[in-house]
Amino acid sequence: MKFRYLFLASLAGGLVAALAVVWATDRDAARVTTLTSAPRTPLYWSEVTPATAPLADLPVAALDLRPAARRATPAVVHVDARVVGRDRATVKALFGREESSGTLGGEGSGVIYSPNGYIITNYHVVQAADRITVTTSDRRRYAAEIVGTEPKSDLAVLKVEASDLPYLELADSDTAEPGQWVLAVGSPLGLTSTVTAGIVSAKGRSLSILREPDAIESFIQTDAAVNPGNSGGPLVDAEGRLLGINTAIASRTGRFQGYSFAIPINLVRRIADDIITYGRYRRALLGVEISTLTVSDIDRLDLRDRSEGVIVDAVMPGGAAAVGGLLADDLIVAVDGRGIRDLPELTEIIGRARPGDRLLLTVVRENKLLELGINLQPAGQ
* CATH code of 72's domain: 2.40.10.10
pTM of the model: 0.79
Give the CA-trace dihedral at 332, 317, 217, 241, to 10 degrees: 80
Is residue 343 located within the same domain as residue 303? yes
Q: Do the domain assignments include residue 313?
A: yes
Annotation says 78 is catalytic: no
Is residue 251 located within the same domain as residue 335? no
| Active-site residue, from 218, 231, 237, 330 | 231
Q: Do the domain assignments include residue 6?
A: no
Is residue 262 located within the same domain as residue 293? no
- Specify the 3-state DSSP secondary structure of 152: helix
Is residue 311 located within the same domain as residue 363? yes
Is residue 264 located within the same domain as residue 288? no
Annotation says 101 is catalytic: no
Q: Do the domain assignments include residue 212?
A: yes
Q: For the chain, what is the domain count?
A: 3
The amino acid at residue 340 is I
Q: Kindly give the residue spans of alpha helices, DSSP state H, lying in the chain.
A: 2-37, 66-72, 88-95, 123-126, 265-278, 295-301, 320-324, 343-352
Annotation says 124 is catalytic: yes
pLDDT per 10-residue tile (average), the chain, 381 residues = 43 43 41 30 36 48 88 97 68 46 73 98 93 96 97 96 97 97 94 95 89 87 94 97 92 81 97 97 96 96 95 96 97 97 95 97 97 93 52
Q: Do the domain assignments include residue 26?
A: no
User: Within 10 A of 259 (CB to CB), how many other CB atoms are there?
Assistant: 17
Is residue 374 located within the same domain as residue 289? yes
Q: Do the domain assignments include residue 314?
A: yes
Amino acid 61: pLDDT = 53
Residues 207 and 343: their CA atoms lie apart, in Å, by 12
Amino acid 258: pLDDT = 84
**CATH number of the domain residue 298 falls in:** 2.30.42.10
Domain closes at, from 269, 303, 337: 269
Is residue 149 located within the same domain as residue 184? no
Domain that holds residue 75: 67-160
Q: Closest Cα to residue 121, out of 76, 82, 90? A: 76
| Active-site residue, from 78, 80, 124, 274 | 124
